[in-house]
A = this chain, B = another copy of it.
Amino acid sequence: MPKLLCIGEILVEMVAADVDQSWLEPATWHGPFPSGAPAILADQAALCGATVDLVGSVGADPFGEACLARLRRSGVGLEHVRVDDTGTTGVAFVRYSASGARSFVFHLPETASGRFRLDDPATALADVGLVHVMGSTAFSADAVAAIGRFVDDASARGVPVSFDPNLRPEMLRRPEHVAELRRILLGARVVLASEGELPALLGDASDAACAARLLGGAAQVVVVKRGAAGASLFEPGRPEAREPGVAVHEVDPTGAGDCFGGTFLALYLSGTDPTTALRYANLAAGLSVTQRGPMSGNRSLADLEAALRSPAPGSGRPSQSAGPSSGAL
């Protein structure tokens, strides 16, 4: 199976125990949970059978160890992850409000986690079938430069690019970063976006209009993720394929979109048809929010197949579809 190479932030997350918990008064937090959008995606891709390497950096501290131990256990290749003893592993403090909105305090750009780069593109990209980049990684000028170089190195070697805009509101204030994300988007073969992100980056009126534009360019597959409302797949010359949402009791939505991406890319790289990959990805994302911690809800392809065939009570997902053929996986 062609290898997937992801780049970006590896950090830990501390999750507020209570909804609307105060930031200002001492309260209870749970963590450290291994996190970072590219790390969550890589973890889930590995659990779904992909050969996946991660390019990243952590501090020489227990939080970095926790991340690497988790990723190693899931089968993610860590050859291109540096342990940087000049800084600490990044930490994101996350709090949910009653509306479902999240707020963060991020220790990232200045930490060891913020200092990733691919040092040896010739070696690292030699046997790679797809590189994946996420907009969440554009958290500093250095990080934007690192992902831009990564994409250029891949393109120069004919390795196609997969991109998830994964926009953070604060990024939209940096026009030069947004321009670089738009450039990466326009060159990507696979696009995995959340609802509204493509219009935010491209200026077209709807996700569907953006998908059509992208499919007229470099893209072969465009997915629009709608959280609890499911997801859509756009391919050239085919009607939009829709997956409905998965009814679950949401505990912690962080990482669901990355779990979606990891599942989709693992299946896509294995040769599974995109419509089936969409179904698995949508299910994986839905199930992932039932556990606290960004990677805690990641699960293997076997688990997903089992859930599709005989859904657990409360998954809200009757066995509405057959799995991908074993041969394709």
A65 within 8 A of B: yes
Contact B30 A28 (CB under 8 A): yes
Contact B105 A61 (CB under 8 A): yes
Contact B63 A88 (CB under 8 A): no
Q: Among B24, B27, B106, B110, point to the contact of A30 (Cβ < 8 A).
A: B27
Instruction: Mark contacts of A181-210 with chain B using CB atoms, 8 A cut-off: 1 yes-contact digit, 0 otherwise.
Output: 000000000000000000000000000000
Q: Which chain B positions have C-beta within 8 A of A87?
A: 110
Contact B88 A24 (CB under 8 A): no
Q: Which chain B positions have C-beta within 8 A of A61?
A: 105
Instruction: Mark contacts of A1-35 with chain B using CB atoms, 8 A cut-off: 1 yes-contact digit, 0 otherwise.
Output: 00000000000001001000001111111111100
Contact B23 A66 (CB under 8 A): yes
A315 within 8 A of B: no
- Asked if A26 meets B105 with Cβ closer than 8 Å, knowing A87-B110, A110-B110, the reply is no
Q: Which chain B positions have C-beta within 8 A of A31?
A: 26-27, 29
Contact A62 B30 (CB under 8 A): no
- Asked if A66 meets B25 with Cβ closer than 8 Å, knowing A110-B87, A111-B110, the reply is yes
A229 within 8 A of B: no
Q: Which chain B positions have C-beta within 8 A of A111?
A: 107, 110
Q: Among B26, B69, B107, B292, point to the contact of A32 (Cβ < 8 A).
A: B26
A residues 81-121 touching B (CB-CB < 8 Å): 87-89, 91, 93, 105-107, 110-111
A293 within 8 A of B: yes
Contact A24 B107 (CB under 8 A): no
- Asked if A29 meets B30 with Cβ closer than 8 Å, knowing A14-B14, A111-B107, the reply is yes
Contact A107 B105 (CB under 8 A): no
Q: When chains A and B are docked, how far (Å) is the Cα of A25 from the Cα of B33?
A: 7
Q: Which chain B positions have C-beta within 8 A of A105?
A: 61-63, 88-89
A residues 46-95 touching B (CB-CB < 8 Å): 61-63, 65-66, 69, 87-89, 91, 93
Expressed in whole angstroms, the minimum distance between the Cβ of A34 and any Cβ of chain B is 9
Closest residue of chain B to A23, judged by CB?
B62
Q: When chains A and B are docked, how far (Å) is the Cα of A65 from the Cα of B27?
A: 15
Q: Which chain B positions have C-beta within 8 A of A29?
A: 14, 28-31
> Which 4 pairs across A and B sit closest by C-beta, in order of nearness?
A23-B62, A110-B110, A24-B66, A29-B29
Q: Pick 29 A–B contacts, CB within 8 A, sort by A.
A: A14-B14, A17-B28, A23-B62, A23-B63, A23-B65, A23-B66, A24-B32, A24-B62, A24-B65, A24-B69, A26-B30, A26-B31, A26-B33, A26-B292, A27-B30, A27-B31, A28-B29, A28-B30, A63-B93, A63-B105, A87-B110, A88-B105, A88-B107, A88-B110, A89-B105, A91-B107, A107-B107, A110-B110, A110-B111
